[in-house]
Amino acid sequence: MGNQQDDRHRLLLLHRWLLITLVVVTALHMHTAEAAPAPEKKKQQKQMVPCMYIFGDSLVDNGNNNNILSLARANYRPYGVDFPSSAASPPGRFTNGRTVVDILAGLLGFQPPFIPAHAMAAQDEYARGLNFASGAAGVRPETGNNLGGHYPLADQVEHFRAVADQLTSSSSPEGKKKMTNQLGKCIYYVGMGSNDYLNNYFMPDYYSTARDYDPAAYAAALLQEYSRQINVLYDLGARKIVVAGVGQIGCIPYELARINDGSPPPNTVGNGAGIGIAVPGITISLGGANRRRSNNNVCNEEINNAIAIYNKGLLSMVKRLNRQLPGAKLVFLDAVSGGRDLVVNAGKYGFTVVDKGCCGVGRNNGQITCLPMQRPCEDRSQYIFWDAFHPTEAANRIIAARAFGSAPGNDAYPFNISRLATL
Ligand SMILES: *[C@@H]1O[C@H](CO)[C@@H](O)[C@H](O)[C@H]1NC(C)=O
- pLDDT-derived band at 261 (thresholds 50, 70, 90) equals low
**414 CA to centre of ligand 1 in angstroms:** 11
pLDDT at 43: 55
pLDDT for 407 beyond 90: no
Q: Is 355 a catalytic residue?
A: no
Residue nearest to atom 3 of ligand 1 (CA): 419
Of 252, 309, 257, the residue nearest 288 (C-alpha): 257
Residue 411 near residue 403 (C-beta atoms within 8 A): yes
Rounded to an integer, the average pLDDT of 213-230 is 98
Ligand 1 mutation pick, 419, 420, 422, 423, max ligand atoms within 8 A of CB: 419
pLDDT for 331 beyond 70: yes
Measured distance CA(293)–CA(319) in Å, rounded = 36
pLDDT at 5: 52
Q: Is 206 in the pocket of ligand 1 (CB under 6 A)?
A: no
Amino acid occupying residue 368:
I
pLDDT for 30 beyond 60: no
Strand partners, 148: 70
Minimum mean pLDDT among 205-214, 313-322, 381-390, 405-414: which range? 405-414
pLDDT at 277: 37
Residue 387 near residue 395 (C-beta atoms within 8 A): no
pLDDT in tens, 349-396: 999 999 899 998 888 888 888 998 899 999 999 999 999 899 999 999
Q: Is 415 in the pocket of ligand 1 (CB under 6 A)?
A: yes
- pLDDT-derived band at 269 (thresholds 50, 70, 90) equals very low
What residue spans define the domains of the chain? 47-422
Measured distance CA(377)–CA(399) in Å, rounded = 21
Backbone angles phi, psi at 249, to 5 degrees: -70, -5
Show the CA angle centred on residue 349, arms to residues 333 and 397, nearest 5°.
45
Give the position, in ligand 1's atom list, of the atom nearest the Cα of 415.
5
Higher-scoring residue by pLDDT: 77, 28? 77
pLDDT in tens, 312-326: 999 999 999 999 999
Rounded to an integer, the average pLDDT of 331-356 is 91
Measured distance CA(396)–CA(390) in Å, rounded = 9
Residue 194 near residue 112 (C-beta atoms within 8 A): no
Minimum mean pLDDT among 76-85, 146-155, 303-312: which range? 76-85
Rounded to an integer, the average pLDDT of 203-213 is 96
Q: What integer best gives the mean pLDDT of the chain? A: 82
Measured distance CA(109)–CA(212) in Å, rounded = 45
Give the position, in ligand 1's atom list, of the atom nearest the Cα of 408.
5
Q: Is 337 in the pocket of ligand 1 (CB under 6 A)?
A: no
Helices assigned H by DSSP within 249-408: 253-259, 301-324, 335-344, 346-349, 393-405
Minimum mean pLDDT among 82-86, 150-154, 204-208, 230-234: which range? 82-86
Strand pairing report for 129-131 and 52-56? parallel
Backbone angles phi, psi at 176, to 5 degrees: -65, -45
pLDDT at 8: 52
> How many CB atoms are closer than 10 A to CB 166?
13
Measured distance CA(402)–CA(121) in Å, rounded = 29
Rounded to an integer, the average pLDDT of 42-65 is 90
Domain boundaries 47-422, corresponding CATH code? 3.40.50.1110
pLDDT at 350: 94
**410 CA to centre of ligand 1 in angstroms:** 11
Measured distance CA(68)–CA(85) in Å, rounded = 22
Rounded to an integer, the average pLDDT of 121-128 is 94
Contact residues for 385 (Cβ-Cβ < 8 A; gap 6+): 252, 253, 353, 354, 355, 356, 357, 358, 365, 391, 392, 395
**95 CA to centre of ligand 1 in angstroms:** 28
* SS3 (DSSP) at 310: helix
pLDDT at 132: 98
Contact residues for 398 (Cβ-Cβ < 8 A; gap 6+): 338, 341, 342, 349
pLDDT at 362: 84
Measured distance CA(408)–CA(141) in Å, rounded = 34
Q: Is 418 in the pocket of ligand 1 (CB under 6 A)?
A: yes
Higher-scoring residue by pLDDT: 12, 306? 306
pLDDT at 325: 98
Q: How many helices (H) and strands (E) does the chain have?
A: 14, 12
**246 CA to centre of ligand 1 in angstroms:** 23
Measured distance CA(11)–CA(5) in Å, rounded = 10
Q: Is 171 a catalytic residue?
A: no
pLDDT in tens, 283-303: 233 333 333 333 334 789 999
**405 CA to centre of ligand 1 in angstroms:** 5
**417 CA to centre of ligand 1 in angstroms:** 8
Give the position, in ligand 1's atom list, of the atom nearest the Cα of 418.
14
Minimum mean pLDDT among 85-94, 96-105, 132-141, 176-185: which range? 85-94
Task: List, as one string, the DSSP characters of 132-165.
Answer: ---TT--SSTTTTGGGB----HHHHHHHHHHHHH
Q: Which of 150, 390, 406, 411 is catalytic?
A: 390
385: left (phi over 0), alpha (psi -120 to 50) or beta: beta
**412 CA to centre of ligand 1 in angstroms:** 10
Ligand 1 mutation pick, 107, 416, 422, 423, max ligand atoms within 8 A of CB: 416
Q: Is 329 in the pocket of ligand 1 (CB under 6 A)?
A: no
Strand pairing report for 368-369 and 240-244? unpaired
Q: Which of 57, 61, 341, 387 is catalytic?
A: 387
Minimum mean pLDDT among 151-155, 291-295, 401-405: which range? 291-295
pLDDT at 14: 42
Give the position, in ligand 1's atom list, of the atom nearest the Cα of 404.
13
pLDDT at 22: 36
Ligand 1 mutation pick, 103, 108, 410, 418, max ligand atoms within 8 A of CB: 418
Q: Is 58 a catalytic residue?
A: yes
Measured distance CA(164)–CA(141) in Å, rounded = 22
Considering Cα of 36, then 38, then 41, then 47, what sign does the dihedral take? negative
Higher-scoring residue by pLDDT: 44, 191? 191
pLDDT for 243 beyond 50: yes
pLDDT at 35: 41
Backbone angles phi, psi at 278, to 5 degrees: -115, 135
Measured distance CA(86)–CA(241) in Å, rounded = 29
